Structure 1
Amino acid sequence: MPVEITLGEIPAGVSTLRSWSNAAWTDAALRCVVAIPARNEAHRIGRCLDGLARQQTWLPFGVLVLVNDSTDDTFVEVVSRGRRRGCGPLMAVEAALPAGRCDAGAARCVAMHLAGRELRGEGAVFTTDADSVPPPHWIARYSALIDAGYDAVAGLARLLPADMEDIPRSLLHRRMCEDRYEICLDAIESWLDPVDHNPWPRHYQASGANLALSLAAMRRVSSMAWPACGEDKALVRALEASDCRVRHDTAQPVLTSGRLFGRARGGMADTMRKRILEPDSPCDERLETVERAYFRARTRRLLRELHAGPRHAEHLHACSARLRLTLRMLGDALDAGGFGAAWRVIESASPRLARQPILPSQLLAQCARGEALLARMHIPSAWRADLSTGTTP
Structure 2
Amino acid sequence: MTEPQPQCIRNVVVVMPAHNEERHIGKAIAALKTAADALQRKHPDITASICVVLDSCTDRTADITSANMAGDPRFSAVSVKLHSTGASRDYGIRAAMDRLPPAGATSLWVATTDADSTVPEHWLVRQVELADAGADAILGSVEPDPDDVDPAILRRWLELHPFREDHPHIYGANLGIRASAYVAAGGFPRLRAHEDRLLVERVRRHGFVVTATDTTRVVTSGRMQARAPEGFAAYLRALGSELPAVAGG
Fold-level similarity (TM above 0.5): yes
Alignment of structure 1 residues 35-54 onto 2, 5 Å: 35-54=15-34
Task: Give 1:64's aligned residue.
Answer: 51
Task: Give 2:124's aligned residue.
Answer: 139
Amino acid in structure 1 at the alignment position of 2:52: V
Task: Give 1:284's aligned residue.
Answer: none
Secondary structure in 2 matching 1:153: strand
2:143 corresponds to 1:158 = yes
2:221 corresponds to 1:257 = yes
Q: Distance in 2 between matches of 1:251 and 1:42?
A: 28
Task: Give 2:247's aligned residue.
Answer: none
Task: Give 1:104's aligned residue.
Answer: 85
**Unpaired segments ≥5 residues, structure 1:** 1-29, 184-200, 281-393
Q: Which has the higher contact order (CA 8 A, sep 6+)?
A: 2
Q: How many residues align?
A: 224
Instruction: Using the TM superposition, name which of 127-136 and 139-148 deviates more.
Output: 139-148
Alignment of structure 1 residues 137-286 onto 2, 5 Å: 137-164=122-149, 167=150, 169=152, 171-180=153-162, 201-222=165-186, 225-279=189-243
Amino acid in structure 2 at the alignment position of 1:60: T
Task: Give 2:63's aligned residue.
Answer: 76
Do the aligned partners of 2:144 and 2:154 also contact (CA within 8 Å) in 1? no
Q: CA, structure 1 residues 93+250, in 2 after alignment: closer, same or farther (shift >3 Å)?
A: same
**Unpaired segments ≥5 residues, structure 2:** 1-9, 41-45, 245-249
Secondary structure in 1 matching 2:208: coil
Secondary structure in 1 matching 2:219: strand
Q: Distance in 2 between matches of 1:234 and 1:49?
A: 27
Task: Give 1:16's aligned residue.
Answer: none
Q: CA, structure 1 residues 108+223, in 2 after alignment: closer, same or farther (shift >3 Å)?
A: closer
Q: Distance in 2 between matches of 1:44 and 1:224?
A: 24
Amino acid in structure 1 at the alignment position of 2:96: A
Deviations 1:247-303 (A, max 9, x none): 1122110111111114233111111112323549xxxxxxxxxxxxxxxxxxxxxxx
Deviations 1:57-96 (A, max 9, x none): 1232111000011101212221222224xx3511100111
User: When you count helix as a share of all residues, which structure comes out higher?
Assistant: 1
Q: Distance in 2 between matches of 1:126 and 1:104?
A: 15
Q: CA deviation at 1:236?
A: 1.1
Q: CA, structure 1 residues 145+35, in 2 after alignment: closer, same or farther (shift >3 Å)?
A: same
Do the aligned partners of 2:29 and 2:69 also contact (CA within 8 Å) in 1? no
Q: CA deviation at 1:227?
A: 3.3
Q: Distance in 2 between matches of 1:49 and 1:223?
A: 24
Q: CA, structure 1 residues 105+88, in 2 after alignment: closer, same or farther (shift >3 Å)?
A: same
Q: Distance in 2 between matches of 1:81 and 1:251?
A: 27
Determine which structure has more spread, i.e. the larger CA radius of gyration.
1
Cα RMSD between the aligned structures?
2.1
Q: Distance in 2 between matches of 1:226 and 1:94?
A: 17
Do the aligned partners of 1:35 and 1:115 also contact (CA within 8 Å) in 2? no
Amino acid in structure 2 at the alignment position of 1:172: L
Secondary structure in 2 matching 1:52: helix
Q: CA deviation at 1:204?
A: 1.4
Do the aligned partners of 1:226 and 1:234 also contact (CA within 8 Å) in 2? no
Identity of aligned residues (%): 30
Q: CA deviation at 1:149?
A: 2.3
Q: CA, structure 1 residues 161+269, in 2 after alignment: closer, same or farther (shift >3 Å)?
A: same
User: When you count strand as a share of all residues, which structure comes out higher?
Assistant: 2
Q: CA deviation at 1:217?
A: 0.6
With normalisation by structure 1, the TM-score equals 0.53
Q: CA deviation at 1:242?
A: 0.9
Amino acid in structure 2 at the alignment position of 1:104: T
Q: CA, structure 1 residues 223+275, in 2 after alignment: closer, same or farther (shift >3 Å)?
A: closer
Do the aligned partners of 2:136 and 2:208 also contact (CA within 8 Å) in 1? yes
Q: Distance in 1 between matches of 2:227 and 2:135?
A: 31
With normalisation by structure 2, the TM-score equals 0.82
